[in-house]
């Protein structure tokens, strides 16, 4: 195989991967937009960095300043574990805000684009309201 063929093959592979990633990003943006609209929030809020998390926490019922829990992951080892536990917890709370069970929340954490799309595009799943009353209750973490 000549050098030109190798370069053309690598370019084709790179281009294909880029197109697939772009399509996935567009799909996730549309799904999150619909999820926010379903919860009665403006869809555009889903594409604004940081603000999208504040609005997501509002959908769940957390106060806006809980966004700082996301940054706890910068602490080596312990912070990463706590950040993962918090991420699992808020995904379960998000699932409960849409009337789903904890297992659906685990799916939201593990395969977020797929489960976000299920919430966004399903006519059977409705927003039932915040599942948290403002603060994190350590007795009801999940």
**CA–CA separation, 53 vs 73, rounded Å?**
16
134 band by pLDDT with thresholds 50, 70 and 90: low
**CA–CA separation, 128 vs 101, rounded Å?**
13
- pTM listed for this prediction: 0.83
Residue 28, classed as helix, strand or coil, is helix
120 band by pLDDT with thresholds 50, 70 and 90: very high
For 46-92, how does the pLDDT look when each residue is reduced to its tens digit (9 = 90+)? 999 999 999 999 999 988 888 888 788 788 888 888 888 889 988 99
Beta bridge partners of 62: 134
Residue found by looking up tokens 């929340």 in the block: 105
């Amino acid at each position: 195989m000549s050098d030109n063929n190798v370069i053309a093959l690598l370019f084709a592979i790179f281009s294909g991967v880029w197109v697939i990633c772009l399509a996935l990003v567009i799909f996730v943006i549309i799904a999150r937009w619909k999820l926010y609209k379903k919860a009665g929030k403006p869809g555009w809020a889903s594409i604004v960095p940081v603000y999208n998390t504040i609005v997501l926490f509002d959908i769940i019922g957390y106060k806006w300043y809980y966004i700082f829990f996301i940054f706890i992951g910068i602490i080596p080892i312990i912070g990463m574990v706590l950040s993962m536990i918090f991420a699992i917890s808020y995904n379960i709370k998000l699932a409960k805000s849409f009337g789903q069970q904890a297992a659906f929340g685990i799916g939201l954490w593990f395969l977020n684009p797929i489960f976000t799309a299920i919430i966004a595009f399903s006519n059977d799943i409705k927003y039932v309201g915040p599942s948290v009353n403002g603060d994190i209750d350590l007795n009801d973490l999940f």
